[in-house]
Amino acid sequence: MKIAIFQANTVDNQIDANLKRYDSFLENLDKDTELLVFPEMFTTGFTMNTLHSETMQGKSLQWIKAKAIDKQIAIAGTLLIEEDNKFVNRHFFVFPNGEFEYYDKKHLFCLSKEPRVITPGKNKKIVNYKGWKIALFTCYDIRFPAWCRNAYNNEEYDYDIAIFSASWDSARNHAWTSLYVARAIENVSYVIAVNRVGIDNFNIKYFGSSTILNYKGEKLVDTKQNKEEIVYSTIDRNLLYSFRNSFPVAKDWDKISLI
């Protein structure tokens, strides 16, 4: 499967301007792309200003659906959504037919206003796309290995790919680049880690450092720091299965339960 990761330079609280710029980037998207992944809150930046939230009928989700249908690809990324008088950081996975599934971010960043504004999600989400089992996670979730933990039952893994859509600042860049390697290795899965670049309205810098890693924690593609760009990599399910069969470490995993 050919994956495109979009390391976007998000302009805070400027939905229309961001979508217009993304339109120009996607005009040149490789025709054989099958999955496109955006950073966290890629239309607004990481904002807790609920004036910039959208409903499930909002323009950002409609834009994603229209692009998925037009390009005949799947698209993933998160948006600030208002629903039932609460706000969630919702990670969407939109299929080429415009249908979608989603995951609401569970772990809310304690050094921000997020825990005071956002209602945490309670459930994991694994979607099925083109024979791949894909787990959806968001930014700060990557620090919590028990939550991100793959499972192995009856010789089947819960997921083959973990997507981390992030808005991870440069002050903690070493943690970001270390944690996504660890998550790939320990879960014997591909990892797609997509972060933003640029400087936000609070003068916080974002390096990006987005990547796609294989099940051994090896980078298949790397982005340039501080550069808005789309990069590509093709992943192979047969290589993943072959490695899992030759090194069945999952059989020795500790049995854990999440309350």
> What distance in Å separates the CA atoms of residue 243 and residue 187, rounded to the nearest whole number?
12
Instruction: Decide: 210 and 7 in contact? Cβ < 8 Å.
Output: yes
Residue 219 among the catalytic residues: no
DSSP 8-state assignment for residue 9:
B
Cβ neighbors of 111 (< 8 A, separation 6 or more) are none
Phi, psi of 245 (to 5 degrees): -70, -35
Instruction: Decide: 148 and 189 in contact? Cβ < 8 Å.
Output: no
Give the residue from 136, 240, 118 showing the smallest Cα distance to 194. Answer: 136
From 105, 114, 124, 148, active-site residue: 105
Residue 148 among the catalytic residues: no
Phi, psi of 206 (to 5 degrees): -130, 125
Task: Report CA-CA distances (Å) from 148 to 16, 180, 204.
Answer: 33, 11, 27
> What distance in Å separates the CA atoms of residue 240 and residue 162, rounded to the nearest whole number?
13
From 40, 54, 114, 228, active-site residue: 40
From 54, 67, 114, 139, active-site residue: 139
190-226 burial, b if ≥16 CB within 10 A, otherwise e?
Answer: bbbbbbbbbebeeeeebbbbbbbbbbeeebbeebeeb
Residue 155 among the catalytic residues: no
Residues taking part in catalysis? 40, 105, 139
